[in-house]
Homo-oligomer: A and B are copies of this chain.
Amino acid sequence: MSNFTPTERTRVRRKPERGSYDRELIYRILDEAFVCHVAFIADGQPFLVPTNYVRVGDKLFLHGSTASRLMKALGSGAPFCLSVTLLDGIVCAPSATGHSVNYRSVVVMGKAEPVEGEAAKLAAMRDFVEYVIRGRWATVRPPSEQELKGTMVATLRSLRRRTSSTILGRNRQTAP
């Protein structure tokens, strides 16, 4: 697997030795969680929403009501910043400021676009369910036309592209 190429915006500056752009590592972290936080700007103010996601290959999908502020912002092409954080442990140290945590986090920056077409939306919704509970999709009533209409699925189109996708890596301390 290849590396993502860091951009001016995504390059880890503080303690750069903790950063990584390794695609496999990034996907492994993403695949351990299903809750992320997404930041975006609306009316000039920063907003932050916890939501769930699914990764399918090089794509990340988010979904929500078409009426939600988050989905409206994503649908309009506004830039966003998404983070997934896994807390692995607490680091104790002899000095107060040496205390820290072991964590792995991924930050994704980019723009999203709505998934168009009923079949593509349905496939993504299946992926959301199957990612969290494998085998569940076959046992449930699929979304009605009305439910599909009320749901917006957005895909992070830039995950492949270095120009706007920006993913930065893990932070793992093992010593005080």
Contact = CB atoms under 8 A, between A and B. Distances in A.
A77 interface: no
Q: Which of A48, A126, A129 counts the most B-chain CB atoms under 10 A from its CB?
A: A48
B35 A39 contact: no
A40 to B, nearest CB: 5
Interface string A91-113: 01111111101010101010000
A60 B90 CA distance: 21
A57 to B, nearest CB: 21
Given A90-B133, A96-B125, A96-B143, A37 B79 contact: no
B48 A97 contact: no
B140 A39 contact: no
Interface residues of A, number: 56
A140 B95 contact: yes
30 contacts: A14-B67, A14-B68, A35-B85, A37-B37, A38-B48, A39-B46, A41-B41, A45-B81, A45-B109, A46-B46, A48-B48, A48-B82, A48-B107, A49-B83, A50-B85, A50-B103, A52-B101, A90-B133, A92-B133, A94-B140, A94-B141, A95-B141, A95-B143, A96-B129, A96-B137, A96-B140, A96-B142, A97-B143, A99-B136, A99-B140
